[in-house]
Amino acid sequence: MMTPYLEKNVSVGPFQCNCRILVCPKTAEAAIIDPGDEPEKIIKTVESMRWNAEGEELRPKVRWLLHTHAHLDHIGGTRGVAEKLKPETKSDHPLKLALHAADGFIYEKLKDQGKLFGMNYEDPLPINHFLEHEEQIRIGSLNLTVIHTPGHSPGGVCYRLHADSALAVPETVFSGDTLFQGSVGRTDLWGADGAEMIRSIRERLLTLDGDTRVCPGHGDESKIGIEKHENPFLR
């Protein structure tokens, strides 16, 4: 019997960002969504997700660092994680650091973001993959669709993980800081636009199936149907 889809959430940093680790049970390929802080904790969690398949120990092979947006609490650990995941050989796949281009100016100002909170950061590593709306990303047999949801930030995105019953994958959207359980993202930061964010949520998230899991960048999970009918910011 195949090992079911592997997913772990790690809350990191003083802002308790939800960092999600996704692993394909067929190929062991993996992605990390929003490595916002505490790179050692993230790497330790990845290492703990080893499993045995037909007597062979498999360990996740991280191919992607996926960012929902470029605020410091979602990118602060990216350099540390990336440096610990450098390919062991030249034949290994290069690690992809992914972000929507519209958030590039925020990403590049990581040091300035940190100063606002009394936090020190090194310069961020260059982004080597710029995301586009409706882009398909494959993590082994896992299928993600990029959903551009500007508003909380100009380049904010959500990641829709498509259901796969054979792998026990539930329909899921990783919503970053756009949609929360009973709330929505703040709009008093660089490049934010409240009306645009509500439009993004209504047109690109609430149109998903009501049973879709909502995994936000902070706090507890919800479902699209619940937020559609009960979220006071969306009535």
Q: What is the pLDDT of residues 128-185, one digit of tens each?
A: 999 999 999 999 999 999 999 999 999 999 999 999 999 999 999 999 999 999 999 9
Q: Tell me, yes or no, whether 1 lies in a domain.
A: no
CB-CB neighbours of 204 under 10 Å: 20
Which residues are registered as beta bridge partners of 51?
58
Sheet holding 96-100, edge to edge: 6-12, 17-23, 29-33, 61-66, 96-100, 129-131
Q: Tell me, yes or no, whether 215 lies in a domain.
A: yes
Its pTM stands at 0.96
**pLDDT score recorded for residue 53:** 74
In this predicted structure, the answer to whether residue 91 has a pLDDT above a threshold of 60 is no
Tokens read off for 226 = 């619940």
Supply the CATH number for residue 148's domain. Answer: 3.60.15.10
CB-CB neighbours of 140 under 10 Å: 18
**Structural domain span for residue 29:** 6-230
**Domains in the chain, number:** 1
